[in-house]
Amino acid sequence: MASGPSGIVEGMVDVPDGQVWFQRHDGGGTGLPLLCLHGGPGMPHDYLEPLAGLADERPVVFYDQLGCGRSPVQDHGVRWTVERFVVELESVRRTLDLTNVVIFGNSWGGMLAMRYMLDTPVGVAGLVLSSAPPSVSRWLADAAGLRRALPQPVQEVLRTHEESGFYGCPEYQGAVAEFYRRHLCRLRPWPECVERTFAGLGGDAYGEMWGPSEFGPVTGSLRDWELLDQVPRIAVPTLVTCGRFDEATPEHMAALAEALPDAELAIFESSSHMAFLEERDSYLGRLRSFLRRFDDSGTDGA
């Protein structure tokens, strides 16, 4: 492990198929640690950096999942599956001694958190599910609806390139970027931490688990992801968050919150998929309030 600026420690953790990088922010607070799971699959932690602002009350831990950011993969024969990432998450918790913890997961990170919790791990006191879809079929239907609201020329670029399989074409990527500017992050310009995230994107994990494009077809291991009928088994207190303009739509996230036995829903009216960036102060304030309930109760988790 290496010490950086005051209160920041980083290092590497052994996990299946390699090592992953972690960073712990500790401002001296005694609250339960917050372990943060990034999206993607394959979008490194950088865009979650605003959550480090909570380190005055509790340790905040980030890690880059294998195959992206500061956790490069050495064995290109890795099988990218949900099960592999669940084992990786457990390895990080065990190595960093995160015996009692609250887990934050954004997008794919929240999907991973849900799957992990269905295995009833010990010591997880609560969850924050940030724009995390329980249903891929619902996600795709919602994305199709949002796509129909794009300018017609943008829709045409998407359609013609998808029909030809030209997903890597810069023109196609530019059309996807227009969708992202509306439904991923609405800040102008994008914060530098978001730019770093895209620079460190792990394409192998994304391609194998999702597919060639944001809009599908979902050809990877997430194609049959449907957990809405299983999440009632997740008994810990959960905060579900999203933005009004989110690709994880408020209606989808409301269905998730309703299915969970102990959940509350927070919708951020000026945000899309990254409300912790788009409405940083409001989001961190809401998150602080939720997390303090565990500090006050002294709970040891599930």
Written as one letter, the residue type at 152 is Q
% residues pLDDT > 90 (the chain): 89
pLDDT tens string 14-72: 999 999 999 999 999 999 999 999 999 999 999 999 999 999 999 999 999 999 999 99
**What average pLDDT does the structure give for the chain?**
94
- State residue 92's pLDDT score: 98
Q: Residue 181's CB: how many other CB atoms inside 10 A?
A: 14
Q: What is the pLDDT confidence band of residue 3, given thresholds at 50, 70 and 90?
A: low
**pLDDT of 298 strictly over 50:** no
Ranges of beta strands (E only) in the chain are: 2-3, 8-15, 18-25, 34-37, 60-63, 101-106, 124-130, 238-243, 263-268
As a whole number, mean pLDDT of residues 127-137 equals 98
Written as one letter, the residue type at 232 is P
Phi, psi of 36 (to 5 degrees): -105, 125
CATH of 2-297, one of 3.40.50.1820, 3.65.10.10, 3.40.50.1400, 3.30.465.10: 3.40.50.1820
Between CA 89 and CA 112 the distance in angstroms is: 9
Residue of higher predicted confidence among 110 and 4? 110
pLDDT tens string 154-196: 999 999 999 999 999 999 999 999 999 999 999 999 999 999 9
**Among residues 38, 95, 94, which one has the least CA distance to residue 67?**
38
Check residue 28 and give left, alpha or beta (phi > 0: left; psi -120 to 50: alpha). Answer: left
Residue of higher predicted confidence among 222 and 217? 222
Q: For residue 48, give Cα distances in angstroms to 78, 105, 270, 277.
A: 26, 10, 18, 8
- State residue 76's pLDDT score: 78
**Among residues 290, 253, 46, 236, which one has the least CA distance to residue 124?**
236
Between CA 119 and CA 107 the distance in angstroms is: 19
* Lowest-pLDDT choice from 33-42, 98-107, 199-208, 228-237: 199-208
The residue assigned the tokens 């809405």 is 228
- State residue 68's pLDDT score: 97
Domain ranges of the chain: 2-297
DSSP state of 92: H
- State residue 301's pLDDT score: 43
Query: What residues act catalytically?
Result: 107, 246, 273
**pLDDT of 214 strictly over 90:** no
Between CA 296 and CA 277 the distance in angstroms is: 27
